[in-house]
Amino acid sequence: MRDAKSAVITGASGMIGTATVRLLAEKGCAVLAVDRVPFPMRQDGVTFFAADVTAPEQVAAVAAQAARSFGTADALVHIAGGAGPDRAPDLEATDLSIWEHVMALNATSAFLLCRALVPPMRQQGFGRVVTLSSILARGEKGAATTVAARLPYAAAKAALTGFTAQLAKDCAADGITVNAVAPGLILGDAGTRIRDRFDALPEHERARMLGAIPAGRPGTAEEVAGMLAFLVSGAAGYINGATIAIDGAAS
């Protein structure tokens, strides 16, 4: 069984990205850490590359840097995404610019990165692709909470599950697996975006969100990173086209 020995990780400066970079680097994987903002730590085997993965020319630059660093990247772990900065709690508040921005952050970026990085994986006969969906791909009841633009976010994360399933079928014969993880509520330390939004909610809303999680607690970035690292390992070679929930049984 072959583990990925090199990986491009997007969204590397966020809490899940940082945990994933750290874990894969500790396992001996060479990492190209990609984000629009500076990477918050220095670690052996990790190279930071600044890029906006919604921009085709910058994705091409990521692929060029990966080729210089690795030859061919064994894995793409696409964590970059999100619901954007603009609050849009319902359909009427969601204008086209918000919709297009959130779709670009999540779904279009995955397409651009895979189009750039998967063909060399085909040529070498091995590859691992993991995307980050969300349990919100199935929608969320009640008032909008920590997600700024819930409707386009749900649509974009659902698009990723379909993209993942189809690309897996297209690439399986070439030794490539394509999977997604779908986290539930993941809270970082104070000062992180989702944690600050959660802490700003009324107490009854925080209680409602936590009460919907049978495990009784939010997840951690390290728990998501553990699954991402597993999916790029040789042990996960027969898992393909799956979307795996990491949500304490909430979905």
> What pLDDT was estimated at residue 146?
67
Q: Has 153 been annotated as catalytic?
A: yes
- CB of 42 within 8 A of CB of 64? no
Q: Higher confidence at residue 6 or residue 147?
A: 6
**Biggest CA pair distance of the chain:** 54
Res 212 pLDDT > 70: yes
The share of the chain scoring above pLDDT 70, in percent, equals 98
Write out the DSSP string of 125-160: T-EEEEEE--GGGG---SS--S-SBHHHHHHHHHHH
> What pLDDT was estimated at residue 51?
98
CATH, domain 6-246, list 2.30.40.10, 3.40.50.720, 3.60.15.10, 3.40.50.280: 3.40.50.720
> What pLDDT was estimated at residue 194?
75
- CB of 60 within 8 A of CB of 68? no
Nearest to 77 by CA among 86, 68, 66: 66
- By the 10 Å C-beta count (0-12 exposed, 13-18 middle, 19+ buried), 111 is classed as middle
Per-residue pLDDT tens for 129-157? 999 999 999 988 776 676 778 999 999 99
Per-residue pLDDT tens for 98-131? 999 999 999 999 999 999 999 999 999 999 999 9
Mean pLDDT throughout 7-21? 97
Given 39, 49, 153, 163, which residue is catalytic? Answer: 153
pTM: 0.94
- Which parts of 54-149 fold into alpha helices (H)? 56-70, 96-103, 109-124
